[in-house]
Amino acid sequence: MTSGIDSEHQTLHTERASLPGDKEHSETSEGSKVANDQDPPSPPHEFPEGGLEAWATAFGAFLVQFCGFGYSASFGVFQDFYTQHYLTNETSSALSWIGSLSVFLTTAMGLVSGSLHDRGYFYHLVITGSVLQSLSLFMLSLSKPDQYYQIFLSQGLGLGIASGLNYIPSMAIISHHFRRRRTLVMTFVASGSSLGAVIHPIMLNNLLHGPVGFTNGVRASAGLVSAFLLIACLCMRTRLDPPAKPVNYIVAARKCIRDVPFILMIAGGFLFQIGFYYPLFFFQLDSIKHGIGTTFSFYSLVILNVSNCVGRVTSGFIVRFTGVPNLIIISSISCGVLILGMIGLNSLASVVVLGMLYGYFAGLNTGMAAPLMATLTPDLSELGARMGICLFIVGFGILIGTPISGALLTSHYTWWIPALFSGIASLTGGMMFITMRYMFLRRQRVGTLLLDNQAVS
């Protein structure tokens, strides 16, 4: 089963060329020699698979992920701080709306950013998104205690739109420079968000709860993010001209509706994301409320996100043996089980074990999100559009998931109810991915039979 998926994954890279001349290039085997960096520049239809410009672009995209999803995934620090110190009059559900809206907009804005990216507006998107993100964080530092709307507008709305403008362009630009190594490089870029989710919580916990305070602490983090985004904008470069006829989103959406595996992936992603962010938002607060100790609890998210980073990095190597669909299924089911396991969180050991295991499998899952969309896209010229459509719909799962969990938690902190809800939702999403894999294999077999029949005739 594993080898079948892996061979089909390789076939996708050889049969789905979207540019002239890709066919010849795609016949290169996995172990073939990569072009030397000192060779003359490759023609537009060939992929350099390396070189200073390609790796500088990958590094810039890595920094965008560090500052975008990496900051959003650190919202558990703010959830704890707002609950206990800054927005004490608000419910856990109301506070969760801030973080969930930010993450939702990061994905949902893909409908706009993906379309504009396909039309050649890459630099416009990343520069605008970077400036807006810096501005939003500095505006957040001006927010006053118990002024919910100020934090909601700056952190929920502004930061979410900014990250959304940057997210898809920073992932899709990898396809300009890499083809054979695309999955591996995408996992490297995606690991930026998990590394950011390690650094940001350490920095924010020590600043917000220390003598620096909220205002100067957020300003310090805003300065760090602004510097990294400036470096990212200077590093990233496009290589291919936009298509003469940009992808029509309406036409792409109609194709998606008829693409059963892709629809199943969207449905599974929506259900899975309802529960996925529950640990990221509530893990630190859960640890503190169970008396684990404030100092250690501050590092609970760090433990989770360090494992997440390891998961994302290793996913690019593991997928060679499992295939993308299989790895998505394994990681999704594992995440659902571990979320249910949070019902038993009551000791330091349980925090460490759950944090490490959930972080690792969540990293595997997130690292394979973009490669899965690429795998299920027959025509790679539509990848930006399909990513935008998929992330927009899946984003609604993110939007409603943690606020529902916060409402189920109540002011009495009944932890088992939101953990049960989130775990079941994620497991259901994993079941949808199993069905997706079956339909994908079936489509591949039908396509192979048709090609064989044409060859015989």
Mark residue 246 as left, alpha or beta (left: phi above 0; alpha: psi -120 to 50; beta: remaining). beta
Within a domain: 23: no
pLDDT value, residue 253: 82
Tokens of 110: 């893909």
38, part of any domain = no
- Measure Cα distances from 445 to 4, 119, 438 in Å: 11, 34, 11
Within 8 A by CB and 6+ apart from 258, the residues are none
- Domain span including residue 347: 2-14+49-456
Domain containing residue 443: CATH number: 1.20.1250.20
Residue 26 lies in a domain: no
CA dihedral sign, ordered 61, 111, 5, 354: positive
Cβ atoms within 10 A of the Cβ of 293, count? 12
Sign (positive/negative) of CA torsion 63, 61, 69, 342? negative
Q: Is residue 354 part of a domain?
A: yes
Report the domain count for the chain.
Answer: 1
The pLDDT profile of the chain, 457 residues, written as one tens digit per residue, is 333 333 333 333 333 333 333 433 333 333 333 333 333 444 555 777 777 888 999 999 999 999 998 898 888 889 888 988 888 888 888 999 999 999 899 888 878 887 788 788 889 999 999 999 999 999 999 999 989 999 999 999 999 999 999 988 888 888 888 888 877 787 788 778 878 888 998 899 889 888 888 999 999 999 999 999 999 999 999 887 777 776 677 887 888 888 899 999 999 999 999 999 999 888 888 888 887 877 787 788 888 888 988 888 888 789 889 988 999 999 999 999 999 999 988 888 888 999 999 999 998 998 788 788 888 888 777 777 787 788 889 989 989 999 999 999 888 888 899 999 999 999 999 999 999 999 988 887 876 776 666 666 6
Residue 200 CA to residue 355 CA, distance in Å, equals 17
15-to-10, 75, 213, 322, 375 alpha-carbon distances in Å: 9, 42, 56, 20, 11
Amino acid identity, position 328: I
Is 352 a member of any domain?
A: yes
Selection from 316, 194, 236 nearest residue 58 by Cα:
236
At 443 the pLDDT is 83
Q: Decide if 207 is inside a domain.
A: yes
What's the Cα-to-Cα distance from 346 to each of 76, 179, 412, rounded to whole Å?
18, 47, 16
Q: How many angstroms separate the CA atoms of 87 and 84, rounded?
A: 7
Tokens of 426: 């994620």
Task: Please indicate, yes or no, if residue 28 is contained in any of the structural domains.
Answer: no
3-state SS, residue 248 = coil
125 touches 412 (CB < 8 A): no
pLDDT for 451: 67
CA distance 163 to 332: 25
Longest dimension (CA), the chain: 78
Q: For residue 394, tell me if it sits in a domain.
A: yes
Q: How far apart are CA 250 and CA 248, in angstroms?
A: 5
Classify each residue of 150-182 as buried b or exposed e, where b means 16 or more C-beta atoms within 10 Å of its C-beta: ebbbbbbebbbbbbbbbbbbbbbbbbbbbbbbb
Q: Count the neighbouring beta carbons within 10 Å of the beta carbon of residue 414.
A: 11
pLDDT at 44: 53
pTM: 0.76
